[in-house]
Amino acid sequence: MLNSKDLLGLRDVTPQEITQILDLAEDYKKQVKGGQKKFSRLSGKTLVTLFYENSTRTRTSFELAGKYLGAHEVNIAASSSSVQKGETLIDTGKTLQALQTDFIAIRHPMAGAPHLLAKTVKASVINGGDGMNEHPTQALLDMLTMRETFGSLSGLKVAILGDIKHSRVAKSNLFGLSKMGAQVWVYAPKTLIPAGFDALGAHIAHSREEAIEGANVVMGLRIQLERQSGGLFPSLSEYSQFYGVKDDMLKLAAPGAIIMHPGPVNRGIELTPSLIDGQSSRIEDQVTSGLCVRMAALTLLSEYREKNGL
C-alpha cells in the first residue's frame, strides 16, 4: 500500500514505496509477457485518462493498465473536450467527481496541475507528466527496466544526456534513483542544465565521455523543440555532433551497459539509430515496463483507497 491517495512525483515517496511498486510491477510483467491480460483488481472501478498534451506511450499504457485490471476506462483528450470552451481544471475535476471517477491519470503542460486536481477530487490522481516538473511513472518504469537488468539499483551509474532543463523525466529519475542508491550523471549544453540540479544530487559531467565512462545505463533524452524558448543550442545537427551519443562511445561504458530513452526519440539526434535498435537497447522493454508499473501503481493506490474508506 502507498502512503498517500495520489502519485504525484518521486520527490516525496519513500524508497519502500518505490520498492513496493517495482516488486508488484515485476510480478505483473511476468504475467503479462506470459499472455495474462485479465485481472480483476480494479473490477467495478473507473479510470479516466485526462491528457492536455500529446502522448502515445503514457496514455496508451494507462488505458491498457486500467483495462487489464478490469476497470472501466475512458479517455479525455483536452483538444476535443470542454476545455476548449474555457472550462477550468478544477471544474473538469468536479465533473469527473460527479461521474464517480476513482482514478485520474493526468498530463498537463503546467507544473503542479496534478497537485491542484488532487486537492479538488476524491479520486486518486496519478501524474502522467506535468510541464517541466515530474513524470513519476516514467522514472519508475525506467527503474524497473534497470533493476531487471542489473538485479539492483544500488551502486549503478546512470548517465543521462539530452535536454535536462525541460525534462520531467530527468527530475523524477534523479529523485527516484538517488533514493535507491544509484548515481545520476547528466551532460548537455550548459543552457540545457537547470540551475541547482547538482544541489538536488546530480553529478554534472563536463563531457560526453566523462558522463558515459563506467556508466551502467546510458539514457538519451529527447530535445524538446516544443519547449525551447529559442537559442538554447545552435541547431539540431550541431547538437547531434557535439552532444549526441555515438556508437563508439558505448565502449567507454561499463561492461553490459544498456541504452535507454523514454521516447519519443529524435532518431540520429540524441542517439544513433544503431544504438536505438542495437542489442544493448532496452527502449522497447521500457514500454512494457511502463504498462506494468502503471498496473502496479493503480493496484497499490486502490489498496490505499480501500483501507482509508475512499
Among 3, 36, 43, 56, binds ligand CP (CB under 6 A): 56
CB 225 → ligand CP: shortest distance, Å? 14
**How many CB atoms neighbour CB 228 within 10 A?**
15
Given the C-alpha cell 557535439, which residue does it identify? 242
Using rule CB under 6 A, residue 176 touches ligand CP: no
C-alpha cell at 265: 526519440
- 216 closest CA partner among 185, 246, 190: 185
CB 67 → ligand CP: shortest distance, Å? 17
CB 178 → ligand CP: shortest distance, Å? 20
Calpha distance 114→107 (Å, rounded):
8
Using rule CB under 6 A, residue 55 touches ligand CP: yes
Number of residues interacting with ligand CP: please give it, by CB under 6 A. 9
Using rule CB under 6 A, residue 9 touches ligand CP: no
Using rule CB under 6 A, residue 57 touches ligand CP: yes
Does the annotation flag 59 for ligand binding? no
Interaction pattern, residues 250-289, with ligand CP; x per rule: CB under 6 A: ------------xxx-------------------------
Q: How many residues make up the chain in this entry?
A: 310
Residues 6+ apart with CB under 8 A from 199: none
Given the C-alpha cell 476545455, which residue does it identify? 83
Calpha distance 224→235 (Å, rounded):
13
Q: Which residues does residue 183 pair with via DSSP β-bridges, in sequence order?
A: 157
Region 114-133 residues binding ligand CP, contact defined as CB under 6 A = 129
Using rule CB under 6 A, residue 138 touches ligand CP: yes
Calpha distance 2→235 (Å, rounded):
44
Are 163 and 221 in contact by the 8 Å Cβ rule? The answer is yes
CB 86 → ligand CP: shortest distance, Å? 26
* Binding annotation: 57-58, 85, 107, 135, 138, 168, 222, 263-264
Rule CB under 6 A: which residues touch ligand CP? 55-58, 129, 138, 262-264
* Binding annotation for L-aspartate: 85, 168, 222
